[in-house]
């Protein structure tokens, strides 16, 4: 259900009933207002880091100099400016995801859709990427719709947590009012994690699949 939901929001699929709108405008086809980021970076291997960022801007009426300036600004934002001339095969998994995030941000979408983007990373790299995503959100205040199976990740990053039940049949919405910056070892953090686990009935058994 979660992949279908993201595809509908991005305009790649049409809902069988109901509708999706961004700021009151119906979503009928893919466009620059909603950008998807997947677990795999999707970077073009024959392009440099800078060239990958510029790629998303090439359909706009911008000069080459303007595209380069914008791209470098976003590489600075994600801390990858010193790797601008590298190719994707020269980067670690976390570095690739930083570049992917910069490419998405460069087109200034209304919504960034993220489908388990950090799940393939090791624990410490994942924590670092979570902190970087939060830091970027603090500066840009864009809407992020993020799918994860990691409860701690959801509690650490997001203010509204939607629990999707098996096959997308129903949601449970939880408001996360924990103050920022959030402490993964704090009492409030553990309490909210426990509330979510109760929703899944995972304290005693795993009864069904879920996504957040």
Query: What range defines the domain where residue 204 resides?
Result: 152-212
Report the predicted TM-score, pTM, of the whole model to 2 decimal places.
Answer: 0.84
Residues 154-180: tens digit of each pLDDT: 999 999 998 887 666 667 888 999 999
Last residue of a domain, one of 94, 126, 147: 147
Same domain, 24 and 123: yes
CATH number where 58 lies:
3.40.50.300
- Assess contact for 92 and 121: CB atoms under 8 A: no
User: What is the number of alpha carbons within 13 Å of residue 96 lying toward its C-beta?
Assistant: 21
Same domain, 32 and 122: yes
Which residues are CB-contacts of 138 (< 8 A; sequence separation ≥ 6)? Answer: none
The rounded mean pLDDT for the chain is: 87
Separation CA 106–CA 56 (nearest Å): 7
Mean pLDDT is lowest, of 38-42, 109-113, 131-135, for 38-42
Last residue of a domain, one of 96, 131, 147: 147
Same domain, 108 and 212: no
Structure token digits, residue 196:
């979510």
Sign of CA dihedral 113, 43, 156, 138: negative
Same domain, 80 and 165: no
Give pLDDT, residue 168.
Answer: 60
Q: How many domains does the chain have?
A: 2
Last residue of a domain, one of 100, 120, 147: 147
Task: For residue 92, give the 3-state DSSP assignment.
Answer: coil
**Partners of residue 145 on adjacent β-strands:** 113
**Partners of residue 26 on adjacent β-strands:** 21
Look at 87 and 30; give whichever has higher pLDDT: 87
């Amino acid at each position: 259900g979660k992949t279908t939901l993201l595809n509908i929001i991005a305009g790649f699929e049409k809902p069988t009933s109901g509708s999706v709108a961004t700021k009151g405008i119906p979503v009928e086809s893919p466009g620059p207002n909603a950008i998807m980021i997947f677990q795999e970076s999707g970077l073009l291997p024959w392009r440099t880091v800078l060239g990958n960022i510029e790629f998303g801007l090439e359909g706009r009426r911008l000069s080459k100099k303007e595209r380069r300036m914008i791209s470098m600004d976003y590489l600075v934002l994600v801390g990858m400016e010193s790797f601008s001339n590298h190719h994707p095969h020269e980067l670690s998994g976390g570095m690739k995801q930083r570049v992917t995030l910069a490419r998405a941000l460069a087109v200034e979408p209304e919504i960034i859709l993220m489908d388990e983007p950090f799940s393939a990373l090791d624990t410490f790299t994942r924590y670092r990427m979570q902190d970087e995503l939060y830091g970027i959100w603090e500066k840009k205040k864009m809407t992020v719709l993020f799918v994860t199976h990691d409860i701690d990740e959801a509690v650490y990053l997001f203010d509204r947590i939607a629990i999707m039940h098996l096959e997308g049949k129903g949601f449970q919405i939880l408001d996360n009012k924990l103050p920022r910056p959030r402490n993964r070892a704090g009492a409030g953090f553990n309490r909210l994690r426990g509330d979510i686990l109760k929703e899944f009935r995972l304290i005693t058994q795993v009864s069904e699949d879920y996504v957040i």
